[in-house]
Structure 1
Amino acid sequence: LIFLLSEAMASDVHKKIKAAFKAFDYEANNTVDVREIGTIVFSLGCFPSQADLHDFIAQVEEDHTGFIHLEKFLPVMTNVLLEKRFPPIPEDKLLQAFEVLDKEKKGYLEQEELTKYMMQEGEVFTQEEMDEMLTALTDQKDNVIYYKDVIDELIIDNDI
């Protein structure tokens, strides 16, 4: 029975990983650009540091080609999920972090504010990463980042 449950769990994990991977497999050849791996890993509810992400990529990248193949990615990512490595930051900690940045207590951040913090503090983001993040996080109507909405998006049901 335990073996069957373990097999069913692994099957569900494989489905989630394949779906996330295929969303970035633009040529439908079971390959993604290495620059997409962070986004894929984050979309699966894992939040590694930049150093951990770099180590992860080193395990799955094909001979420094800049591409990741599903066959190599799937078993490594499966282990990460089943072992619950790279857990998300708790919701209350995320809220505290955003509130520190929101000095005026507006409930949102301007794009320029978030860009300044993300490109100058801590693990620095590239302009390409920032553009991608701002596109995903910015409220299209008001052109600001409502961080409570962002937190709701980041809090993923991690029961695998």
Structure 2
Amino acid sequence: SLPKKERDSQTQTIIADIQKKITDAFEVFDHECNKTVDVREIGTIIRSLGCCPSESELHDLLAEVEEEEPTGYIRLEKFLPMMTKVLMERRYRPIPEDILLRAFEVLDENKCGHLTKEELVKYMTEEGEPFTQEEMEEMLSAAVDPETNTVRYRDYITMMVVDEN
């Protein structure tokens, strides 16, 4: 293994890279350029960094970075250390493609390789942690083929899976 000094230097480089990635993602939503973003954008920022927390996990993360007096905005100086820790610990990894595929296959009772838009809405809003109207619309716009009004889930999964690199 590497000498301690080199290991520390490598770790510093990794952390610097991660922090640059986080800052870049944050700045996309920092419309006022004042190192703050709307709290409602935080989920999008976290997901753009390859993390897929559930709504309740996202809620816990927000509780960590929100001020004692919630302003509706999150400051970069609070977000950066929290998000660096999340990425270093590889928390909220996306679900692997094969598991997603198996889940869709279970829902596809007729084994026809697709779900109808109606089936998808039913499963996503009535089971488990239901999707919000906004999440549902976002998923439908990405997943549903407008010509057939179905979701060819193999294609959708390929599009959904976050590239690990």
Length-normalised TM-score, structure 2: 0.81
**1:86 and 2:120 matched:** no
Cα pair distance change 1:88/1:141, threshold 3 Å: same
**1:106 and 2:112 matched:** yes
Q: CA deviation at 1:98?
A: 1.1
1:9-158 superposed matches below 5 A: 9-62=14-67, 63-139=69-145, 142-158=148-164
CA root-mean-square deviation: 2.2
Cα pair distance change 1:109/1:21, threshold 3 Å: farther
Deviation readout 1:22-71 (Å, 9 max, x if unpaired): 33334443332222222222222212222211100111123322222222
> How many residues are paired up?
159
Cα pair distance change 1:31/1:135, threshold 3 Å: farther
Structure showing greater radius of gyration is: 2
CA distance in structure 2 between the aligned counterparts of 1:108 and 1:32, rounded to whole angstroms: 38
CA distance in structure 2 between the aligned counterparts of 1:145 and 1:31, rounded to whole angstroms: 37
Cα pair distance change 1:57/1:9, threshold 3 Å: same
Cα pair distance change 1:3/1:89, threshold 3 Å: same
Q: 1:37 is matched by which residue type in structure 2?
A: I
Length-normalised TM-score, structure 1: 0.83
Q: CA deviation at 1:142?
A: 5.0
The one of the two structures with greater contact order (alpha-carbon pairs below 8 A, sep at least 6) is: 1
CA distance in structure 2 between the aligned counterparts of 1:30 and 1:109, rounded to whole angstroms: 42
CA distance in structure 2 between the aligned counterparts of 1:138 and 1:23, rounded to whole angstroms: 27
CA distance in structure 1 between the aligned counterparts of 2:66 and 2:94, rounded to whole angstroms: 24
Identity value in percent: 56
- Runs of 5+ unmatched residues, structure 2: 1-5
